[in-house]
Amino acid sequence: MILTGPEITDAAADGRVVISPFRPEQVNPNSYNVCLGDRLLTYTDEVIDPYRPNPTREITIGEEGYVLQPGQLYLGHTLESVGSDLYVPLLFGRSSVGRLGLFVEITAPIGDIGFHGQWTLMLSPVRPLRVYPGMKIGQIMFFVSLGRVDLYEGKYQSSDGPQASRYWKDAPVPTS
């Protein structure tokens, strides 16, 4: 089951869902619109290696916006801090943003029950596209879970701003 817009509003009011800041005008029939924060990360090495930390460059998006370039992966973040200890959140790009040629969160839309923080967004433009802080970029839906819940206690808990991959922290280095 998916929470309806009115139920998302009720759940945010009674704490079953945390959305901060919460704006009633961002509630949809069965989702909540999230906005782009003001920072982006890009990887700076030519080759990204999952088995080691990769250097990044932080970009601050000003009021004039920032032009994303094709062929570049940008890590953005939601303005809102979102989480729930009861529901499974899923984040998808808004269709109106997709129609501009921006892929948002195409490989990792599912959040863990118990995660609370700003969500890192994987942004990939098809052509040059100007983005602005505070623009509606995605939508989060909340699904009812079934079974025993083990709350998320992972490495991205309480994220603030975009987070580079920490794959290397958990992955054994392959031997051959």
Q: What confidence score (pLDDT) does residue 176 get?
A: 63
Domains of the chain: total: 1
Question: Does some domain include residue 104?
Answer: yes
Task: Read off the CATH number of the domain in which 38 is found.
Answer: 2.70.40.10
pLDDT tens-digit map of 120-170:
999 999 999 999 999 999 999 999 999 999 998 888 888 888 888 888 888
pLDDT digit string, tens, across residues 10-25: 999 999 999 999 999 9
Residue type, position 131, single letter: V
Is residue 55 exposed (0-12), middle (13-18) or buried (19+ Cβ within 10 Å)?
exposed
Q: What does residue 167 show for φ and ψ, rounded to 5 degrees?
A: -50, -45
Residue 18 is assigned to a structural domain of this protein: yes
Q: Is residue 162 part of a domain?
A: no
Residue 111 inside a domain? The answer is yes
What is the span of the domain harbouring residue 104? Answer: 5-45+56-145
171 in any annotated domain: no
The arithmetic mean of pLDDT across residues 31-35, rounded, is 98
